[in-house]
Every structure is written in C-alpha cells, then in structure tokens.
Amino acid sequence: MIYLDNAATTYPKPECVYKRIEEASRNAFNSGRGSYKVAKEKSKIIEETREEILSLNNIYNCEVVFTPSATLALNQIIFGIDFKNGDNVYVSPFEHNAVMRPLEQLRKTMNIEIIEIPFDKITFELKKSELENLFTLKKPKAVFCSQVSNVIGLLIDYKTIFELSSKYNSFNVLDASQGYGIVKIDSNTKYSFIVFAGHKSLYAMFGIAGYIVKDGCKINQIFFGGTGADSLNLEMDDKFPFGYEVGSYNIVAIESLHESIKWLKNTDVYSHEKEITNYLIEELKKNKNLNLYVPENSDKIFGIVAFNHKNYNAKDLGMILSEDYDICIRTGYHCAPLVHKWLGTEDIGGECRVSVGYNMQIKDIDLFVKSFKTI
C-alpha cells in the first residue's frame, strides 16, 4: 500500500508515538480528578503538553485549551464569539466546513455577512489592497484563515491578512489544523486563536486537538459539564483553559501528543516533506494528461498537491488507483466548499488530492507517478 492521504490523517506515526500509546492505554487514569498518585502524574503530563504545544512556535503568554477535535475547537470559538447583528466575518476561499458550516449556522440565525478574502486565481496571491479597501467599507468583526489549504496545499499569507484586520480589533482565527507542528508560525502574528489538530501535522493520535488563546481574548462558553473542580457550583469557572474543557481528559491521546511533539522537535519534518512535495510537483507536471492546481511559484505549496486527469474524473481515478495499484489518494471536495468555485472544479466532482508524510520516500512518488503510464 502506498498511502498518499496524509492530509486526512498522517500515517504512519513515528514508532515512539505508537509505543507511547501502548504504554499510556495500559496506564490510563482519569486525570484532573482523583488526588491519588497516578491521577496526579497524568495531570502533570497534561500541563506539560500545553507548554510543549506553545514551545513549538516559541509562543508565550497564551493559554492552550484541549478539545477532542479541531472541528469542536472551531465550534467553541465561532459560537463563543459575541457576534452582533450586522457584523462582517471574513474567510479565505480555502476554509474548511469546520469553519464554514458553523458560520453558515450563525448567518441563518442572526444577521452576519460572510465575505470572501480576495486571492488572485492565477498566482494564488492575496490581493492585499483590495482587502484593505474591503475592510474600510465593511469593518471585520472576525477573520478566519487557514495556515495551509487542505485542498491545494497553499501556504496562505495569513500574517498579512491579520496585520490588516487587527487595525479593526477583529478576532483573528488561524486554522492551523493542516500545518501546526511542521510549518512554523511567527509568534508575532496578530492572531487571537490558533487551532491545531493532533492527528494531522502533529503526528499524534485521533482524539486530541485544541486552540491557543492569546492573552486577553475572551469567548463565551458553549460546552457545559464537569470540570473536576467546584462541583457544587452549577456555574462553571470561565477561566482558560479549565472552564473550557468539560468531561474526562483523553489522556491516551494527550500522551501521544506529548510524545509526538518531542519527536517533532528533534526531526526536520518540514525539509523532508517539502522536498517530497517539490519532487511530486515536478514529476506530475511531466504528465500532460494531468491538470495541476499549482501556481507558477510552486514554493508556496506544501505537503499537498491537487490535480485532475483529462480522461477520468477524480472519483474514478481514485478507485482505479485503490483497486488496481493499492494507492490511497483522496478525491472529491475534501470538506472545503469555497475553493472549488475558485478552481473551477465545482461541477466536475472536485479533484484528486495527494498528500505526503514524513515517512515517504522519492521511490514512493516514482511508483505513484509510474502508475499513470498504465492507466
């Protein structure tokens, strides 16, 4: 099997992560609750993991809130922001349904306007001055931008976008689900929240994700339940992080993250995955039957390459690759609704997406690329 769907979840994880999961699952206690020794040891690991998440990008003076998934992190942020009728919300054309569907729900229930941030369809560059004008005309209350597009692998210039929107004191939400841990974030970025997903670029297991909150940012709580503290009080403490984390901690998933971050700090995953990405683009470009969704400056593409074949629609090509070659790629719309209008793939069933991982080698790309010659 050649696995080329690392954007859905990275596979394989590093061996040390598997070992840690085995150990952690055999020693899984309910942390943050019991006051006996093993429960307290687990609580310490949770606090260390928060610190490690921040240290990956040298971030200080921020809180880390854990959630079971990046989707729930984004629900917590979007429904937690104190939106008012008439507010303008900006989104990049690359946003995932984890952003778009909660926002659409808000749009339906209150009068907010969702505005797409302009990008050039040829160069994939942000249209900066056009955005500046838009912000002047319609002041941003919140801005949502991905770090890396989960469909085309574009490294998005969120830093410039947030720099512009921060003049209006907007909530700036960076969805780093597709890059956190590998693709560096400048800690001077004017973000309010950064969302991360453990099982993707952080190389941990399913079940742990969360968000970083810049000091001073405030959202309403949307989940309620036991926090292990002040049990007689029917109202929850509204302090980060504990007031935003309800129910038992998934300590096994947290330990997998604790371990994967140690590994990430000692491994240059970025350089390797970038090299594989570049090679993949070059090799796919040689095939004249393929239409790549890659800008001229392919240096802006990381980890993910999207394309369509002239003779097969995406779904069929995916099936052929799976059944005849045991190659796993992802086809379709990838839960990102806006980008297909932008790419012109809305009416043709989306596209094929190939995404790389730390364990992939040049020879895997060669095998994949070779398969097209016989299709």
Interaction residues for its own copies, span 21-80 (CB under 8 A): 21-22, 25-26, 28-30, 33-39, 68-72, 74-75
Nearest to its own copies of 126, 153 (CB atom): 153
Which residues inside 107-166 make contact with its own copies, applying CB under 8 A? none
Q: How far is CA 330 from CA 92, 335, 357, in A?
A: 22, 11, 14
Q: Per-residue b/e over 60-92, b at no fewer than 16 CB within 10 Å?
A: eebbbbbbbbbbbbbbbbbbbbebeeebbbbbb
Which residues inside 346-365 make contact with its own copies, applying CB under 8 A? 346, 350
Nearest to its own copies of 261, 327 (CB atom): 327
Residue 317 interacts with its own copies (CB under 8 A): yes or no: no
CB 270 within 8 Å of CB 57: no
Nearest to its own copies of 23, 282 (CB atom): 23
Tell me if residue 197 falls in helix, strand or coil.
strand
Nearest to its own copies of 251, 369 (CB atom): 251
Of 49, 178, 250, 277, the one binding its own copies (CB under 8 A) is 250
Q: Of the candidates 300, 244, 296, 252, which has an alpha carbon nearest to the alpha carbon of residue 277?
A: 300
* R_g of the chain, CA atoms, integer Å: 21
Residue 295 interacts with its own copies (CB under 8 A): yes or no: no
- If you search the block for the tokens 């809180």, which residue do you land on? 63
Residue 102 interacts with its own copies (CB under 8 A): yes or no: yes
Q: Which two tokens stand for residue 335?
A: 């839960």
Binding-residue pattern over the window 252 to 271 for its own copies, x denoting contact by CB under 8 A: xx--x---------------
Nearest to its own copies of 56, 114 (CB atom): 114
At position 322, the amino acid (one-letter code) is S
Q: Which stretch binds its own copies (CB under 8 A): 132-140, 224-232, 297-305, 367-375?
A: 224-232
Residue 375 interacts with its own copies (CB under 8 A): yes or no: no
Residue 104 interacts with its own copies (CB under 8 A): yes or no: yes
Q: Which stretch binds its own copies (CB under 8 A): 5-13, 84-92, 178-186, 187-195?
A: 5-13
CB 311 within 8 Å of CB 331: no
Nearest to its own copies of 164, 208 (CB atom): 208
Measured distance CA(184)–CA(178) in Å, rounded:
12
What sign for the dihedral angle of Cα 164, 166, 170, 173? positive
Phi, psi (rounded to 5 degrees) for 20: -65, -40
Nearest to its own copies of 135, 203 (CB atom): 203
At position 258, the amino acid (one-letter code) is H
Of 199, 274, 300, 309, the one binding its own copies (CB under 8 A) is 199
